[in-house]
Structure 1
Amino acid sequence: MRTLILFSALAAVYCSKDHTPPKVQVYSFNPGKYGMQNTLICHVSGFHPPDIDIQLMKNGKEVRDSQLTDLAFIKNWQFHLNKRVDFTPERGDYYSCRVTHGFHQKDFAWEPNM
C-alpha cells in the first residue's frame, strides 16, 4: 500500500503543471560538408522533470558511441544536457536527435545547409 501511495504521489508530481517540455537544438560543430568529419550535437534545455532520453540517429537508427554530458540545472530547476558524436555526413544521409521526455517522443532534424 505504501508503494502505491508513493507511486501515485510521484505520478502526480510528474504530471503536474511543472512539466516543462524541452527546447532542442541540433547542429554540427563545423559547417556541414559532405565527406568531412564533424561532430553532431544535440542540445536539450529548459525541461523539467529531469527524466529524459536523448538518441542521436542516422537514417532512423541510433548512432552508437555518442557521449552525454552531465545533467545540469539552473536556479528554477530547469535542466539541460548535450549529446554528441563524431560523424561524417554523406549525401542522402538523414541525421536527427530523438528526445523522449515523459510520454512524449519527437525527432528533430539536423539541417546541414550544404
Structure 2
Amino acid sequence: MEITLTIDNKPVKFKSSGAVPKRYKMQFGRDFFKDLIGMGIVDKDYNNLEENEQLKAIEKIDFDMFYDIAWTLAKTADKTIDDPLTWLDSFDTFPIVDIVAELQEILAATISTKKN
C-alpha cells in the first residue's frame, strides 16, 4: 500500500511492504510491531473520534517513535531519502499530529492479514 501526503508543501510518499519491520529494526534497533502496537495507533480510528477524544488519544503517542515509523514508511517508498534527522531537517514544519490519522490506514495494513 502506498500513499502520498503533502508535508510542508512537498509531496511525500509513504509505503508499506514486507520489508518495513526489518528496515525499522536495522535503522532503530527496535521491534516495529511491538512499538506500533504499544503506541495504540492501529486500534483507534482517529477520524471517527470527537476532537477532544482525538487529542487524548494523540497525547499517548510516543512521537519520537512515530517520527521513526514515518521515516521508515517514507524510506520504503523512496530509497533515496536521507537518514532520519537529515530527512526531517528538510522540512520547515512536519505536522506529525496531522498525519497520524493519514498514516493509520497504511500502518493497519502493515499488521493485518489477508486470510480467506
Higher helix residue share: 2
Question: What is the TM-score with the length of structure 2 in the denominator?
Answer: 0.24
Higher strand residue share: 1
Question: What is the TM-score with the length of structure 1 in the denominator?
Answer: 0.24
Structure number with greater Rg is: 1
